[in-house]
Amino acid sequence: MRGYLSADIKDEIRRRVDLVDLVGSHVALKKTGRYYKGLCPFHQEKTPSFYVDREKGLWHCYGCQKGGDIYTFVMETGNLAFNEAVEVLARRAGVQLERSPEGLKQASERDRMYRAHEAAAVFFREQLADSARGKPAREYLARRGVDAATAERFRLGYAPNAWDELLKTLGNKGYPPALLEKAGLAQLRQSGDGHFDLFRHRVMFPILDVQDRVVAFGGRALDGSEPKYLNSRETPVFTKGRTLYALNWARDEIRKQDEIVVVEGNMDVLTAHQFGITNAVASLGTSLTADQVLVMKRLASRATIVYDADASGQAAMERAMVLFEEADLPVRVVVLPSGDPDEFLRTHGAEAFRRLVEQALPVFEYQMAMVAARHDARTVEGKVQIVDELVPALAAVTNPVRQTEYLRLLAERFDVREDAVRQRLRAHRKGRVGRPASSGAGPSAGDRDVTATDSDRAQRQAERLLLHLMVHEPMLREAIAERLRAEDFADPVHQVLARTVLGAPDADADALRSRIEDEAAERLLLGLLFQDPPVVEKDKERAVRDAVGYIVERQPAARARDALAKAIAAAQASGDVEQVRRLQTEYVNLVGVTQTSRKGGDGHGQEKGGA
C-alpha cells in the first residue's frame, strides 16, 4: 500500500500538511482538550465520535472504527489508491515528487481520468477565450450578467459546435477515446464505429470535488438543444448524489458562517458568489439526496434552502426538507416572491437577498404555511387534512425534542388537541413498513463474541489493558516481553498487535502503524492511541503484574480446571474410583492456584466495556 514513496518524502509531506486543516475541509471540528472532535465523514451519526490528534497526526472514529493519518484520510474521502493520495498531498504541501518512467506507466485509470478532466477544462477555457469560436458563449454569459472574475474563478468554458474537437485535442495528449468514453467526455456512436464529443455548443461548468480536482462537467445548450442542461454521467471519479456544485469554493465560508445556503442551479450559485453569498452550493441536476445533506451536516450546523418560486421548485424544496429532518440538520426556508435566486439577486441586490435569508422561516413553520394555503383551517375537514398532511413530516423528525416542539406548534396553530395529533402520529407509524435496524459499526471481530464465557472476557480485558499500556508506555514493553509472548494473547487481533508492539520496544505511534498489515489490528491501535489507559500512574505496575499473571497463570489454570472437571465427571460415570481420587487431587491444587492469584486483585485497571 505504501507504493513508491520514500520514508523521507512521506515524512516531509506529513510535516507540511496540517491534519486539522485537511480534515477541517470536510468536517466542522471543535477543540476538545487535546483533540479536535466532529461528525464522522464516513458514516451517518448524530453525536460526534470522530477525533483528530494534531500532535500525533492521527484521526480515529469510535463509531465506524476507521482511522489513520493524512494519507489514509485522503484515500478514504477521495476513494483513492495510496499513490494517488500521495500526489494530492504532495501538491497541497508543495513537495516535488520524482517518479520513474515505470511509475508513470503504472498510473491508475482513475488518475488518468482526473488528468483527462483537467485537460478538458483547459481546452474548454481556451475555446471560450477564442475570439471567434467563443463569441456565442461569451455573449450568453454577458447577457446573464456573469463578470470576468466569476467566469475565471469558476473556470467557465465553451464546448465548440463540432463533433470531435475534444477527442482530437485530448487524443493528441495521450488520452484514448475508450478512456474518454469511460470518463464521460465522449460517446460511442450507435454504429459502434468511433466516438463523438458528449458536449457540443454549450457553456461549460467544470464540477470540482473538495480536493479541487475536476471530476465532471455541466453544459448549458446555446442553440435550444435538449436537454437544456446536461451533466456528466456517473463515472469512477464522479457520483452525482454525493457531489455538491461549488462546495470546493464555498467550504471555507460555510465553516466561517457555520451555515450553508442551498440553491437549485449552477447559475444560481455563480450569481450568489458574484454577489458575495459565497457559502452557496447546489445539487447537480437531480433532487437533493441524503448523502448530499450528510456532506452539508459535516461542515455546518444549519442550512437555508432557497429554491425557485415556481411549482417544481417548491416541490423540490418539500422533498429536500424531509432529508434535512431525517439527518437532524436544522434547516430554514426562504420564500422568493418570484423567479429564482439568480433573477432575484440581479433585480433586488445582495442586501435584499441577505434580508430574505435572515428572515427565513424555520422548516416546520414553512410546511404549516404551505399546507394551510391548501386547506380551510376553519373547518373540521380542513383541520383533519392539514394534520394528516403534516404527520409524515413530523414522523421524519429524528430529534425527539424538535418533534415535540413541532407537535405543540401544530396543535396551537390550528387549534387542535396535542393528544389527537399524537394519535395520528402513532397510527402513521404503525402503518409504515418497518425499517431495518441500522447495522451501525459494531466492534471488530477480535472484540466480540456473544457466546464468550466470563473467563474469555476477562482474558480479553487483560490482553487489551496490556496492549493499551504498551502503546502509551514504551518503557513497559521490555518488561512485559520478559513474561509474555505474542502467542499468549488469545484474541487473534490482540495477538497481531502484541507481536508488533513487543517486537518494537522503542517505536512511536507512526512506526507501529507502518509495521501493521492487518486492518483490524490497525483500527485497534488507533482506538487505543486516542484513549488514555484506565490506570492511574501509581497503579500501572500492579495492573501489569495482575494482567500478566492472569494470562500466564490463572487463565491456563482455569482452563485446566474445567478440563479436569469434565474428566472427573467422566470417571465417575464409568465407576473408576481411583481415577476420580487422582483427578480430584489435581483439581483441588488448581483451584488453589486460581484463588491465590485472585487475591492479587481483580479489576485493577480493567478496560471499560470489555475488550
pLDDT value of position 562: 77
- Least trusted range by pLDDT, from 277-281, 332-336, 585-589: 585-589
pLDDT value of position 560: 75
pLDDT digits over 213-246, tens only? 999 999 999 998 899 999 999 998 999 988 999 9
Cα of first residue to Cα of last residue in the chain, in angstroms, is: 29
Give the integer Cα–Cα distance in Å for 203 and 136: 9
Reported confidence tier of residue 453, pLDDT bands at 50, 70, 90: low
DSSP structure class, residue 235: B
Identify which of 216, 308, 204, 312 has the alpha carbon closest to the alpha carbon of residue 262. 308
pLDDT digits over 378-417, tens only? 999 999 999 999 998 898 888 888 899 999 999 999 999 9
DSSP-assigned states of every residue in 534-602: SS-GGGHHHHHHHHHHIIIIIHHHHHHHHHHHHHHHHHHHHT-HHHHHHHHHHHHHHHHHHHHHHTTTT
Reported confidence tier of residue 594, pLDDT bands at 50, 70, 90: low
pLDDT value of position 510: 82
Percent of residues, the chain, with pLDDT higher than 70: 89
Give the integer Cα–Cα distance in Å for 54 and 49: 16
Residue 219: its H or E element? strand 214-221
In contact, 313 and 283? CB cutoff 8 Å: no
Q: Are strands 280-282 and 302-305 parallel, antiparallel or unpaired?
A: unpaired
C-alpha cell at 592: 488453589
- The number of beta carbons lying within 10 Å of the beta carbon of residue 471 is 24
DSSP-assigned states of every residue in 176-206: -HHHHHHTTSEEE-TTSS-EEES--SEEEEE
Identify which of 526, 543, 525 has the alpha carbon closest to the alpha carbon of residue 534. 543
Does the reported pTM lie above 0.85? no
- The number of beta carbons lying within 10 Å of the beta carbon of residue 290 is 15
Residue spans of beta strands (DSSP E) within 248-363: 259-263, 280-282, 302-305, 331-333, 361-362
Query: SS3 of 23, please?
Result: helix
pLDDT value of position 347: 95
Identify which of 230, 301, 288 has the alpha carbon closest to the alpha carbon of residue 262. 288
